[in-house]
Every structure is written in C-alpha cells, then in structure tokens.
C-alpha cells in the first residue's frame, strides 16, 4: 500500500522538484538588479553585511545584503568588469563586510551539468512511473493505465443458492462435489484425492451456466471472481497474459474461491485455427492460462469454472487432465425443467389463479431458462402497462409471442387479399398438423404481423423426444410444406411468406441425407465443408464430397422435399373444407390456439371465447 501511494505521487513530486530547481538556479525573485552606477552609490551609502563575488572571464558578479533604514534586509546583485583594478576597488568599498569569493567557472560547469540533466531526470522518472503502472502495481484511481490488471470482478457475498437453479438436477449433482471440496478441503486431502482444478460448463446461451457457477459459490460460501473471456483480449500483445497472471494472484490471496470465466472460447479457441488478426495475443493468453492452471498445486482451493456454448472449437489442451478435466453439459430444459424454472421465477410475481405453468411449459419447447424468465418478466410488464390487477394468461400469451418474434405490429395493416393469403397459409400448416401422424402440431397461430414474419404459427412436436425417426422428420417437413401448398391450391399463386418454412425444410432434408444416413446414399457422413472458419474451425477443413456426390446429395434432398410437398397436398386436398373453416376463423379472430382450432374444425362456434381486449389481441381461453 505504502509503495503504491509513493508511486502515485511520483510524477507530481518530479514536477515540483523541477519547478523549484528552476527558481533557485535563476536566482530568487526578490533580489534587485543594480546597474554599475547604482552599485557604486549603494557601496558608498549602505553598510554591506555580507557579499559574494564570483569572478568570471569577462564580468564579475557581485551579490550582497545590507539592512536599509526600515530595518529590512535588501539583497542586491550587480556586475562589474573583470579587471583586477575594479575587483580591488570593490573589495575596498565593501569594507568589513563578510566576503566570499566564488570561482564562477567551476560553479557554472556544475550548474550547466545539472541543467542539462534535468530533462533526463524528468524523463527517467516518468518512464519509471509508467512501467510501474504497467506492471500492475499502480493505484486504482487511474483507469487508463490499468491494462494489465485483470478485469475479474469479485463478488463477495453470493446470495444465489441451488434452490434458485431449477431443473438441472444432474448438473447440480456434479457440482455438489466441488462445493463439498471448497467447504471441507481437508477431507479430500486426507484421502489423497485430487479435485479437478477446472470445470467446463457447456451449453446453449441462457441455460443457466453463470447461475449454476454462482450458486456453487453461494452454497460453499466462498468469493466468486467472474470475468469474461473477451476481457482478456485487447489490442496490445501480452496484456491478456498479464491479466491472467494477475487474476490468479488475486484469487490465491482469497482462496478458497471460484474463478468463473464466461465465454472461454474467446481465448480458448484451437490454436492456429481460423483466420484473422490477433492470434498471437490470444495464444499467449491461452498459454498463460494453461501455465497458471498447471502451476496451481493440487488442492490450493481455487476452482476455475468456465462456460462456453462452443465446446467444439476449444483447444484440446484446455481439456487435458489437470485443467478443465470435468465437463458438464448444461442442456436446454425439458418440459419438467421448464415448469420448474417457471415456478422459480413466478415466486415474486402476482398471477391470476387460472395460470397453469405446466401448460405454459408445454407450449415453450426449445426455450432456455433465460427465455422463460424473459417471458414472465414481459408478461408482468404488459400487465403493468394495462393497469391490470394481476398477470393473466393473455399477458403470458402475448409475452411468448414477443420473446419469439418481437412485438406485434398492430399498426402495419394489410389489405384483405394479403390477409386472406396469410390466413390460408397458416391454416395449411394447421391442417397437416391435425391430420398427419407425428407431424408438428400448431399450438397457436396468428395472422397479426410480428417481427419479420407476416403471420406466424407455433409448431411443436406432439411430444418431445430424445431421438427422431425418419418418419418423424418427414412428417415435420410435410408440416412445413403445408403453408406453401395451401397457397398453391387456393390461390394458384405463391408468396414470399414461405421463406422460413422452405429454409427449415431444406435444412432438415439435408441433415437427413448428409448426417443421419436416411437416404439412398447410405449411412455415410458427408462433410459439406461449410463449417464456419470465423468460429475457429480450420480453414482447410476437409471436404470429402466429390462433385458427383454433391450432385447426388442435391438430388436426394430434392426427392425428400418434393415427396413431403406431395404428401401435404394430398392431406390438404382431402381436408379442404376444414382448412377453409380455420382460415375463415383466422380472418375473423386473427389469433387461434390449438384448442380453438380443434373446435373450429369440428364446426363449433368459438366467437363466445373472444372478449374484447384493449390491445386488440383476442383473449384465448386458458390452455
Ligand atoms: P448462461 O450463463 O448459460 O448464458 P445465465 O446463467 O446467465 O445463462 O442465465 C440467465 C438467466 O436465466 C439467469 O439469470 C436466470 O434468471 C435464468 N435461468 C437460466 N437457467 C435457469 C434455471 N435452470 N433456473 C432458474 N433460472 C434460470
Ligand atoms: Zn409458414
């Protein structure tokens, strides 16, 4: 601390010294400069107390002090020619004053030398100060010089507990051991067990990796350092490495503790892969991280938890024993998990009684924990905006749509023809979902434009499965085709609205051929060579597809998609009455839920279910 303070003041000190020395060298400001005449009168009239005579080659400088009539001391200085007569006369005039003779040549040499040294001293001082700052000894006041300090934020008292992390039971179990170790390190030491130094959490964004790591710190009641991988990467080479060093040094002082590195792929990418600048810096940083982790003795009490959503691009060296040798995959929550997450975030919210979180979980496959939290928060905001008493299903419904597609564009109106087109398109999807086994079921369909889409429907598989059969995939592609087919059949024309459907169907068909071996090309993986080099994959990733095979792949993909298209056509043709009924209901009510669609198909009247709402969205019945 002491040293830091001194270094902080060093530049000011140097400037002060410089200014002072300038003053003393130029003589003090209170001295009066006398002409030759004035000097003669002064010598005659005043009684000089003390005098300095410095004899130069051409002129001799005389300084002296006398007391004037007001009893004040006066300092004067003057020059006389350096002739022996003049100097003798001067000494005579000074009488019994105390006289010092100074060799002016000698003193000048000394002063000159000092003068010429000053810039060097100043510069050296400044450089010394800068270097000190760069090495991380600098004070905390000046951010501009904090390059090398780690940006790790220390969060002292963590309030997050495992009970705040819903679902993720397996993940929590894996982490429990780490907590046990942080709490009772002795137990493990005695048994000779080496606890992993690093844990790698991989999974989609928003699945709760940060939350899990934090909960770990909370449960073990240890400090939590968090830093993002991108914080290490700066323009200057070597900065990242010294930040890593600094971070581990800090952590060591507060062990046991957890260091959390988010987005570790920013520094931990495969070395020598990808292209673009900044390699050396990233590699140095990564090397430093490896060195620090290797250098950490067993059971020092520091556990490094890293998170990434691209475990595939990580450098294999990171995953070796003694580094991040425990890998935990945090997966997107399943239906039960989603319900649990909703429950956690519903704790502090004011819901209507008829809210069914299970039904909500069912409608949100593929949502991450962060998405679900966002949905409930959006719903709460909507409720506030409407001055509602409590959050009802309508709010949640709208919130889901917002999170998925952006806010409804109520102001964007479209003409009757477009509205009809969109309604028939969406009804096409719905019909395939209803009448084809294993097809995606439309949970909700709307023709209110939202985000980029004209209308949209929420299609989910009938049930969530770990694996899909070939028939499942074909059925999914068929339901994507439903919209386009309806356009063709009822309007004899097609729209650009099917762009997303076509993209999804094509990708799925391509995967079936090149990854899952579900075509006549056999169970072979065909690399299409399109992996993104920007994400750290090797530039020359092997492309084992010959031109001929590429042609065959295209043929197979086309066969699959066209087959599904025909199937959709067959289904819609035999259920065109039902389709027209759904489309009519959509044009009237604009938004329908799965239950309402079924009622419409059976020919029931649903107009009673729509009470008018302020924001124009019809209120669907609680799912
Ligand atoms: P990641 O680090 O995986 O990107 P976060 O841990 O930052 O995701 O999660 C973001 C937010 O999502 C959390 O703050 C939390 O509110 C919510 N969340 C995610 N997963 C869960 C979960 N399993 N239980 C409760 N909340 C969760
Ligand atoms: Zn569509």
CB of 168 shorter than 6 A to ligand 1: yes
- Pocket test of ligand 1: the residue of 166, 370, 371 to mutate, having most ligand atoms within 8 Å of its CB, is 370
The structure tokens listed for 368 are: 């991450």
* 431 vs 149 pLDDT, higher one: 431
Residue 612 has pLDDT above 50, yes or no: no
**Ligand nearest to the Cα of 424, by number:** 2
Q: How far is the CA of 249 from the centre of ligand 1 (A)?
A: 29
Q: Which of 12-16, 221-225, 538-542, 565-569 has the highest mean pLDDT?
A: 565-569
The region of weakest confidence among 12-16, 471-475, 607-611 is 607-611
- Pocket test of ligand 1: the residue of 163, 200, 211, 375 to mutate, having most ligand atoms within 8 Å of its CB, is 211
pLDDT attached to residue 143: 46
pLDDT in tens, 425-440: 989 999 998 898 888 7
pLDDT in tens, 189-223: 888 887 788 899 988 888 889 999 999 899 888 88
pLDDT attached to residue 540: 47
Cα–chain center distance at 603: 52
Q: What average pLDDT does this structure show over 551-568?
A: 94
What is the number of the ligand 1 atom nearest to the C-alpha of 344?
25
- Phi, psi (rounded to 5 degrees) for 328: -120, 125
Interatomic CA distance for residues 140 and 250, integer angstroms:
14
Q: How far is the CA of 428 from the centre of ligand 2 (A)?
A: 8
Q: What average pLDDT does this structure show over 295-324?
A: 82
pLDDT attached to residue 69: 79
User: Which residue owns the Cα nearest ligand 1 atom 25?
Assistant: 165
CB of 263 shorter than 6 A to ligand 1: no
Residue 29 has pLDDT above 50, yes or no: no
* 183 vs 457 pLDDT, higher one: 183
pLDDT attached to residue 236: 64
Residue 538 has pLDDT above 60, yes or no: no
Q: Which residues are catalytic?
A: 426
Residue 2 has pLDDT above 50, yes or no: no
Interatomic CA distance for residues 508 and 503, integer angstroms:
9
Count the helices and strands in the chain (H runs, E runs).
20, 14
Q: How far is the CA of 307 from the centre of ligand 1 (A)?
A: 12
pLDDT attached to residue 11: 67
Average pLDDT, the chain: 79
Q: Map residue 216 onto helix, strand or coil.
A: helix
pLDDT in tens, 468-507: 889 989 999 999 999 999 999 999 888 888 888 899 999 9
Interatomic CA distance for residues 554 and 571, integer angstroms:
26
Interatomic CA distance for residues 267 and 290, integer angstroms:
11
pLDDT attached to residue 130: 81
pLDDT attached to residue 443: 80
Share of the chain above pLDDT 70, in %: 81
User: Which residue owns the Cα nearest ligand 1 atom 5?
Assistant: 208
The DSSP code sequence of 343-380 is: HHHHTTS-B-TT--HHHHHHT-TT--HHHHHHHHHHHH
pLDDT attached to residue 562: 95
What is the number of the ligand 1 atom nearest to the C-alpha of 262?
2
Interatomic CA distance for residues 442 and 420, integer angstroms:
19
pLDDT attached to residue 142: 45
The structure tokens listed for 59 are: 């002129």
Interatomic CA distance for residues 162 and 177, integer angstroms:
13
pLDDT in tens, 387-423: 988 888 888 888 888 887 766 665 556 677 888 888 9
């Amino acid at each position: 601390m002491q040293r830091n303070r001194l270094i902080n003041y060093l530049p000011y000190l140097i400037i002060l010294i410089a200014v002072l020395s300038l003053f003393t060298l130029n003589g003090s400001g209170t001295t009066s400069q006398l002409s030759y005449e004035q000097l003669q009168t002064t010598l005659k009239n005043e009684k000089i107390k003390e005098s300095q005579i410095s004899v130069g080659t051409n002129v001799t400088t005389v300084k002296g002090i006398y007391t004037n009539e007001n009893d004040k001391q006066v300092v004067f200085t003057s020059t006389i020619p350096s002739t022996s007569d003049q100097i003798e006369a001067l000494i005579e005039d000074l009488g019994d004053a105390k006289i010092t003779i100074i060799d002016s040549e000698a003193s000048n040499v000394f002063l000159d030398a000092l003068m010429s040294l000053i810039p060097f001293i100043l510069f050296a001082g400044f450089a010394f100060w800068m270097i000190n700052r760069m090495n991380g000894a600098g004070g905390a006041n000046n951010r501009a010089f904090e390059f090398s300090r780690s940006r790790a934020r220390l969060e002292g008292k963590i309030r997050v507990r495992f009970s705040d992390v819903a679902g993720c039971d397996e993940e929590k179990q894996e982490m429990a051991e780490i907590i046990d170790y942080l709490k009772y390190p002795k137990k493990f030491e005695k048994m000779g067990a080496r606890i992993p130094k690093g844990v790698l959490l991989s999974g989609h964004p928003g699945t709760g990796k940060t939350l899990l790591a934090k909960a770990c710190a909370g449960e073990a009641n240890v400090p939590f350092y968090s830093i993002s991988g991108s914080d290490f990467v700066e323009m200057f080479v070597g900065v990242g490495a010294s930040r890593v060093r600094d971070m581990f040094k800090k952590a060591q002082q507060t062990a046991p503790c957890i260091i959390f590195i988010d987005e570790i792929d920013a520094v931990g990418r495969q070395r020598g892969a990808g292209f673009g600048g900044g390699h050396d810096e990233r590699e140095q940083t990564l090397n430093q991280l490896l060195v620090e982790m290797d250098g950490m003795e067993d059971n020092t009490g520091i556990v490094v938890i890293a998170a990434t959503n691209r475990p595939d691009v990580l450098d294999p060296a990171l995953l070796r024993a003694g580094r991040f040798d425990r890998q935990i995959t945090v997966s997107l929550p399943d239906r039960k998990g989603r319900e649990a997450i909703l429950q956690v975030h519903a704790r502090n919210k004011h819901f209507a009684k008829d809210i069914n979180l299970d039904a909500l979980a069912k409608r949100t496959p593929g949502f991450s924990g962060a998405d679900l939290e966002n949905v409930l928060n959006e719903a709460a905001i909507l409720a506030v905006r409407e001055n509602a008493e409590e959050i009802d299903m309508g709010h949640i419904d709208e919130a889901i749509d917002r999170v998925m597609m952006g806010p409804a564009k109520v102001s964007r109106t479209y003409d009757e023809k477009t509205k009809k087109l969109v309604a028939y398109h969406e009804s096409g999807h719905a019909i395939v979902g209803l009448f084809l086994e294993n097809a995606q079921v439309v949970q909700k369909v709307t023709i209110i434009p939202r985000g980029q889409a004209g209308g949209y429907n929420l299609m989910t598989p009938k049930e969530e499965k770990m694996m899909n059969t070939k028939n499942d995939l074909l059925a999914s592609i068929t339901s994507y085709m439903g919209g386009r087919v309806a356009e063709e059949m009822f309007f004899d024309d097609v729209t650009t609205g099917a762009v997303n459907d076509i993209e999804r169907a094509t990708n799925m068909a391509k995967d079936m051929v090149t990854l899952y071996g579900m075509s006549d090309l056999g169970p072979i993986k065909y690399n299409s060579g399109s992996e993104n080099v920007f994400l750290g994959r090797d530039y020359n990733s092997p492309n084992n597809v010959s031109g001929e095979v590429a042609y065959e792949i295209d043929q197979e993909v086309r066969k699959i998609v066209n087959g599904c298209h025909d199937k959709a056509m067959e289904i819609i043709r035999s259920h065109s009455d039902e389709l027209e009924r759904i489309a009519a209901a959509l044009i009237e009510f604009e938004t329908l839920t799965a239950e309402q669609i079924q009622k419409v198909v059976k020919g029931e009247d649903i107009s009673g279910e729509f009470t008018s709402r302020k924001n124009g969205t019809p209120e669907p019945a609680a799912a």
